[in-house]
A = this chain, B = another copy of it.
């Protein structure tokens, strides 16, 4: 990330090659995702994948330089599907208190719907966590921005206290979300998701009282 110029971030393309043939690239990501969910990420080679989704290996390598690069693209796409509804909540109307509660719920339910298949964690998620793919750090940074946005709104509206440094509040709230944001912990909450998210969200809201 040293090549930032003119204050603009370059597009993220870890391990990706070739021209910006976005549509074809997205098609490979989507087909690969579908295939990995059926067959498993660990047990699929790029050659297997190419055969299954009807492209040549060479064509896939035009876009991605490794299986991991495909995995990372799937991971980033999936985490955007978690983040987008959270951003919509953060930028929505309604009290900051209500929005923060909704973020906890949507984070947990979005993760449940995307990371699990009949309570089994998709293996690509397990690999992403083990190898700490960069999309995970970006997701946590996005969560922090979402929290910050709501807390600042709540402070401005007089709903939340203003004494604690904002960075500390956001860091602490992010940590309280770990049990729903991290799929390994989320898995242990699946049979009591509503009670858990409610209890933690209400604790956080009590901590923000002016």
Binding site for B on A (CB under 8 A): 129, 161, 164, 168-169, 171-173, 175-176, 178-179, 182, 184-185, 195-196, 199-200, 202-204, 206-209
Contact = CB atoms under 8 A, between A and B. Distances in A.
Contact of A175 (B161, B172, B196): B196
Nearest to A163: B206
Contacts of A173: 203
A1 to B, nearest CB: 19
Main secondary structure of the interface of A (DSSP, over half): helix
Copies in the complex: 2
A193 to B, nearest CB: 12
Which has the most chain B C-beta neighbours within 10 Å: A129, A171, A195, A199?
A199
Which has the most chain B C-beta neighbours within 10 Å: A171, A179, A206?
A206
7 contacts: A168-B199, A172-B202, A173-B203, A175-B179, A178-B178, A179-B179, A185-B185
A151 B59 CA distance: 61
Contacts of A199: 168, 171-172, 175
A196 B176 contact: no
